[in-house]
Each structure stands twice: as structure tokens, then as C-alpha cells.
Amino acid sequence: MKWASGMAILALVLLVAAGTWSLFPRPDVPPWEEETAAWGAKNAVAAIVLGARLWDTLFEVLVYAMAMVGVRLALRPLRRTEPQAPLPETPLLRRAADVLLGPIVVFAIYLAASGHLGPGGGFPAGALLGSGLLLLALAKGADRLGGELHEPILERGEYGAIVALLAAGLGVLFLGWVGGGLFVGLNLLIALEVAIGAWVVLHHFASSRGEV
């Protein structure tokens, strides 16, 4: 069985390679400039993700949110009540958090707000904010930071962002909303959602880490 399935993987790789070989040379890209401009964006990828294929993006955001629900559901029964050994902490980390946190937040907002003009967008911005929170958690201790960030409020923010995105989706798909302002709003909502989700994962992973 092992032997057969190993051969199957090899055959699969060869098949995909043969299929890909026949794709070359690649034809020219059909023109995309006009459609991008019609959506009020400069970045064609942003025009697709937040405009033409917003329907996909809505489900993608839901996938992300559902994974966070799963993290909460599965790890809640494992939450430890006794205090745990603190994460390793160094003065270097604390100084780095002091210095870097401001620029991280500013850069994340910049990424979200300019995603339709150049590289960027809500997802990288949210991931950046989430990693900023990780830095803060390493410097301050995850449990302490978890106490300061009130979970019910975060949850409300998360689901509120999803509901707002879905409502905006109806506006884009049926009422013909376009333009840069719309994209900035959508990107900020996505960034909020992603940052909260990233924090939920980090916090739950850190607080159920068990013996190291």
C-alpha cells in the first residue's frame, strides 16, 4: 500500500508537470487596465479582491472567523486555572516593543488605507497588527495582555466587522458602489477582523501551551 501510494504521488507530480509544460509559451495577459480604473483603483488585484470577486472575499473572511471560533471552542476546556510559568522575557524584548509598536501600528494602517493604490491591503495589515500584538505579548506576558484586552468586546468587534462587510458586499454587488473610499473602508474592516483573529489564536495558543 505504501509503495503504491508513493508511486501514485510520483505519477501525480509527473502528470501535473506534463500539463504545465503544455501551457508554455504563455499567451499575453488580456487587458485589465480599463476594468481596474472603472473600480476606482490602481492595483488590479485590489479591484478583483474587493470589487469583482468580493463574493469570494466574504466567504474567505468567514473561513478565517470560523477558524477562530474553532480555536476558542477546542481550547476553552483546556484552559489552565493555575498560573503558568511566564514566557521568557528579556529587557531587549521590552525595549524593542517600546520602539517598534508605534511604527508597526502606523504602517499597518498605511497598508490598509493604500491597498487599492499599491501593494498592501487588509490582510497584510491585519497580520502586521497581529504580530505587533505578539510582540507586546512577549514583552508584557500573554496572560496580562489577555486580561487587558477584554474578550467580549473583541468578539463583538469581530462579528460586527463581518456583518458590516456582508452588508457592504450587497452594496458593491447590487447597488454599484465603487471608488477608493469604499476600498479603504473594506480594507480597514478586514484588517480589524484579521488582527482580532490573530490575537485570539496567539492568546489561546500561549495560554494553553502546557509544560515547556
Partner 1 sequence: MDGMAASALAIALVGLGFWTLLRRRNVIWKLLGLNVAAGGAILFLVAIAHRPQARPPILGLGPGQSADPLPHALVLTAIVIHFATLALSLVYVIFLTERRHSQDVHKLEEER
Partner 2 sequence: MIYAVGGVVIYLVLGAGGFLVRPRWLPGTLALLAGVASLALWAPGFSEGVLGGGRWGISVAGDSLALGMWALALVIHGAVLLHERTRPGPFHPLLTLLVGTCLAAALSRDLFNLYVTLELASLVSFLLVGYEGKPRAVWASLQYLILATVGMTLYLLGVGLVYGKLGTLSLSAIAALGPRLSDPAVGIGAGLLVAGAAIKSGVFLFGLWLPPAHGYAPTTVSVVLSAVVVKMGAVTLARLTEALPVGPALVVLGILTGFGGLLYALWERDLKVFLAFSTVSQLGYMLLGFGLGGGAAFGAMLYAVAHGLFKGLLFLAAGEAVERVGRREIARLAGQLSVPVALALAVGTWAIVGLPPLAGFAAKGILAQDAPNWAKAVLFSLEVGTAASFAKLVPLFRPQGTSPIGGLGFLAAAVVALGVGGLLVVPGLFSLWAWGEAFLAAGIGWGLYLGLRTLRPILPRFTFDRALGSLFVGAVVATGILLLW
Binding site for partner 2 (CB under 8 A): 1-2, 4-5, 8-9, 11-12, 15-16, 18-23, 26-27, 30, 35, 38, 47-48, 51-56, 58-60, 62-63, 65-67, 69-70, 73-74, 77, 155-156, 159, 162-163, 166-167, 169-170, 172-174
Q: Which helix (H) or strand (E) holds 45?
A: helix 44-47
As a whole number of angstroms, the distance between CA 161 and CA 157 comes to 6
Our CA angle for 192, 157, 47, nearest 5°, is: 35
As a whole number of angstroms, the distance between CA 137 and CA 198 comes to 12
| Residue 137: other Cβ atoms inside 10 A | 21
* Ramachandran class of 120: left when φ > 0, alpha when ψ lies in -120 to 50, beta otherwise: left
Residue that is written with C-alpha cell 480599463 in the block: 34
The CB-of-27 to partner 2 minimum distance in angstroms stands at 7
Q: Which does 204 bind (CB under 5 to 8 A by kind): partner 2, partner 1, none?
A: partner 1
118 lies in the binding site for partner 1 (CB under 8 A):
yes
Q: Which does 79 bind (CB under 5 to 8 A by kind): partner 2, partner 1, none?
A: none
Q: Which does 163 bind (CB under 5 to 8 A by kind): partner 2, partner 1, none?
A: partner 2
Nearer to partner 2, 141 or 180 (CB): 180
Q: Which does 55 bind (CB under 5 to 8 A by kind): partner 1, partner 2, none?
A: partner 2
Binding test (CB under 8 A) with partner 1, winner from 86, 102, 103, 119:
119
CA pseudo-torsion sign 191, 107, 202, 83: negative
Take residue 123 and report the three cell numbers written for it: 490582510
Chain centre to alpha carbon of residue 130: 9
Q: Which does 89 bind (CB under 5 to 8 A by kind): partner 1, partner 2, none?
A: none
38 lies in the binding site for partner 1 (CB under 8 A):
no
Window of 49-57, 88-96, 97-105, 170-178 that interacts with partner 1 by CB under 8 A: 49-57
